């Protein structure tokens, strides 16, 4: 866990299955929000004990280094089994306890479809935990007196999903820092024989990272961006201030 002089609460909490998922999908957005003065946090649901590369201890040290690069106010990891994240009542309560303690207004979850079962299960688990955390008569682990809390907005980081985003966040000023947070995971992204056929070669990481961000930036007239999906309809009060030109 990294906290240092961590505040009691955060404004935006990114929740992901694995250490390094946030860095890949919404690390730039956390940098944007931190630069605007908001408190950001990361909750990793697993500790990385089942990964092809690296140990849980190595992943923890790397995650703490990445958190400092991203300037998050708080980062912690739960103990859900790596490779076997399940949407159970026990796990919902564990996550709800963190939500009640950190009290985020915005929660970022993985997109609800994907190749890795941990990712799409975390999306459903995260959503239901956000609902559970707001139930007034439900007791969560750790602090039985914790007050109910339900985040106002739930967003889905959709960078690896083949879907049209609801909106993108311009991360252009932070693109280099975002890359550095990912490269903090030396056990995952340095060239090595183990898992060589599964992982992107180190010399290609920069090109792929920037190309993907460039693609999403072009959709909205930015240089580099990260994509998100929200399920609810957005509301506009002034047509004269809608961003992004139509033609």
Question: Closest by alpha carbon to 20, among 40, 50, 1, 46?
Answer: 46
The model's pLDDT over 155-199, given as tens digits with 9 standing for 90+, comes to 999 999 999 999 999 999 999 999 999 999 988 775 555 544 556
Q: Please, what are the domains in the chain?
A: 12-241 (3.40.50.10320)
Decide if pLDDT at 237 tops 80: yes
Note the pTM of the prediction, 2 decimals.
0.92
User: Of residues 57 and 230, which shows the higher confidence score?
Assistant: 230
The model's pLDDT over 81-136, given as tens digits with 9 standing for 90+, comes to 999 999 999 999 999 999 999 999 999 999 999 889 999 999 999 999 999 999 99
Tokens 């609460």 belong to 9
Contact 134, 85 (CB under 8 A): no
The pLDDT > 70 percentage for the chain reads 90
The pLDDT assigned to 193 comes to 55
CA dihedral 59, 63, 64, 70 (to 10 degrees): 170
The model's pLDDT over 22-55, given as tens digits with 9 standing for 90+, comes to 999 999 999 999 999 999 999 999 998 866 666 8
User: Edge to edge, what strands does the sheet with 153-157 contain?
Assistant: 74-80, 40-46, 12-16, 106-110, 153-157, 225-229, 167-170
The pLDDT > 90 percentage for the chain reads 80
The model's pLDDT over 193-228, given as tens digits with 9 standing for 90+, comes to 554 455 667 778 999 999 999 999 999 999 999 999
Task: Provide the pLDDT confidence category of residue 13 given band limits of 50, 70 and 90.
Answer: very high
Q: What is the largest CA-CA distance in the chain?
A: 56
**Mean pLDDT lowest for which of 6-10, 12-16, 20-24, 165-169?**
6-10
The pLDDT assigned to 195 comes to 47
The pLDDT assigned to 49 comes to 81
Task: Provide the pLDDT confidence category of residue 144 given band limits of 50, 70 and 90.
Answer: confident
Contact 12, 39 (CB under 8 A): yes
């Amino acid at each position: 866990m990294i906290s240092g002089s961590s505040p009691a609460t955060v404004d935006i909490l990114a929740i992901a299955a694995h250490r390094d998922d946030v860095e890949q999908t919404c690390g730039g957005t956390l940098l944007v929000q931190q630069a605007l003065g908001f408190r950001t946090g990361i909750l990793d649901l697993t500790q990385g004990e089942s990964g092809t590369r690296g140990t849980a201890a190595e992943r923890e040290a790397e995650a703490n280094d990445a958190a400092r690069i991203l300037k998050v106010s708080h980062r912690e990891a739960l103990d859900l089994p790596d490779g076997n994240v399940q949407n159970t009542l026990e796990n919902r309560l564990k996550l709800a306890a963190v939500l009640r303690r950190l009290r985020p207004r915005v929660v970022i979850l993985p997109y609800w479809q994907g190749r890795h079962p941990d990712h799409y299960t975390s999306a459903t688990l995260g959503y239901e935990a956000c609902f559970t955390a707001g139930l007034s008569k439900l007791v969560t682990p750790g602090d039985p007196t914790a007050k109910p809390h339900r985040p106002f907005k739930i967003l889905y980081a959709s960078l690896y999903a083949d879907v049209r985003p609801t909106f993108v966040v311009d991360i252009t000023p932070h693109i280099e820092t975002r890359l550095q947070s990912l490269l903090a995971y030396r056990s995952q992204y340095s060239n090595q024989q183990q898992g060589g056929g599964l992982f992107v070669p180190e010399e290609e990481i920069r090109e792929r990272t920037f190309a993907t961000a460039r693609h999403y930036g072009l959709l909205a007239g930015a240089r580099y961006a990260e994509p998100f999906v929200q399920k609810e309809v957005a509301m506009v009060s002034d047509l004269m201030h809608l961003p992004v030109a139509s033609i």
